[in-house]
Structure 1
């Protein structure tokens, strides 16, 4: 919660039109991550920026996140930060994943090795 309060204060000081600052903050947070989480976060960042350039990178509760009109669409929870077995790629309500009576809102990507990344058609 303290990180979220700092994020809100920083956003207020920046004002509108500070996309580059927010992306820099996300990249700095990714650089602080443990090696495995950081490598995963870098690839997710590249994928989101390429596939959905309209989403704005931002920090959300200390996590890298991507938002549409200020509402978080997806985010990455670091395994190290949350002392869990794996990092989690989660989706907010703005993702509109609704499909039937039940649908996943989070995934635990185990690893995203360069070979898999290239096989899926990414640089």
Structure 2
């Protein structure tokens, strides 16, 4: 296959490159932190700062998702993951919140990694679109997070 001016390789998007740079910075910052308690406190502080920097609708949803996750599964450690609020168990990401703004999507996403115990037969959801966090959505998130760490 020859290369021409009209055919060019599509690499990572600008948003994906920013996310990768965010992740590299997160790893460097984590390596410099002191005690385990210091690391946890700083990681949560960084997460809360990242949420506060989001646009209004994403910020409101992320704040509510954070409150539900930390109340429903206090054993999950808040941290940043590719520049997104995430929650880890034993250092492994279980779930994360992706703002709509981050990848210019029409909705925010609550995602779960393969560490989450959401298995339901041969197929189950691992990501959920969020346009609003209502009381019903909060209850569903709480139930999912509890199941994810069960």
TM, length-normalised to structure 2: 0.74
Structure 1, unpaired ranges of 5+? none
Per-residue CA deviation, residues 32-90 of structure 1 (Å, 9 max, x unaligned), is 00100000000010001101000000000000000000000000111001100000000
Say if 2:43 is the partner of 1:13.
no
Structure 2, unpaired ranges of 5+? 1-19, 143-150
Correspondence for 1:102 among 123, 128, 135:
123
Equivalent residues, number = 118
Correspondence for 1:3 among 22, 27, 41:
22
Deviation (angstroms), 1:15 = 4.0
Partner of 1:68: 89
Per-residue CA deviation, residues 9-43 of structure 1 (Å, 9 max, x unaligned), is 00000144111110000000000001000000000
Paired with 2:65 and 2:133, the residues of 1 have a C-alpha distance of: 9
RMSD over equivalenced CA pairs, Å: 1.7
Paired with 2:25 and 2:92, the residues of 1 have a C-alpha distance of: 18
Task: Give runs of ≥4 in structure 1 deviating > 2 Å.
Answer: none
Paired with 2:77 and 2:35, the residues of 1 have a C-alpha distance of: 12
Paired with 1:94 and 1:23, the residues of 2 have a C-alpha distance of: 20
TM, length-normalised to structure 1: 0.90
Paired with 1:74 and 1:97, the residues of 2 have a C-alpha distance of: 11
